[in-house]
Amino acid sequence: MNRTRVSLAALIPLAASAAPPAPVLPIEQYLTTPGAEEVLARSAAPASISDQATVLVLTKHGYTTVAQGTNGFTCLVERSWMSPFASPEFWNPRMRGPVCYNPAASKSILEYTRLRTRLALAGRTKEQMLADIRDALAHHQLPAPAPGAMSFMMSKDGVLGDELTHWHSHLMFHVPKADAATWGANLSGSPVVLDTRPLPEPETVFLVPVAHWSDGSPAPLM
């Protein structure tokens, strides 16, 4: 998914039986080796983008930088707590959502990912996390999406849930709260999809599926 920050883990209803117990502990089950995670993070976007991107990997203490980029993009692997709070897979340790944020998203949307991750690693329950995010929003501690914020989720190796698995290669556009009509989303023949899942963060997400994975191989369309 992701990011998998906001990932796509709940666009299709998932069985409640897939959900592991909350809260998110022990953290070891959510971690991978830094080298493998860097490769997976870079797979979110074509190499022409990700090879020059900053890469973050998850540790017990949060995301840490393992490669400093030069193009303003940031690639990382989202975990399940980036899913909507109603998702039955919110604590699924198997989820891995590679995502690459463009420079505008790196300055704004990335803060949503960092906040959720800090709260999850602090052992907050899902209900506490939601309350904390709403409190941060009420106190103007979360930025609105920067103009032009978008992200790539084009990895064929990501896992966005036990049922969704790799899902679809797609781009995400992050904008301040908006409705579908402003983008022509969810209309017959339109390639733009409005993510209608409720999110506490101050954004609306529009999705645009693409017909290939980041390595250029064909990808199934929605």
- Per the domain annotation, does 48 fall within a domain? yes
Domain assignment of residue 192, yes or no: yes
Structural domain of 117 = 16-209
Express each pLDDT in 22-58 by its tens digit: 445 589 999 999 999 999 999 999 999 999 999 999 9
Residue 183 lies in a domain: yes
Backbone angles phi, psi at 205, to 5 degrees: -115, 125
Q: What is the pTM of this model?
A: 0.86
Count of domains in the chain?
1
Helix (H) or strand (E) holding 98: strand 97-101
pLDDT tens-digit series, residues 61-104: 999 999 999 999 999 999 999 999 999 999 999 999 999 999 99
Closest CA to 143 of 113, 179, 181: 113
For residue 10, tell me if it sits in a domain: no
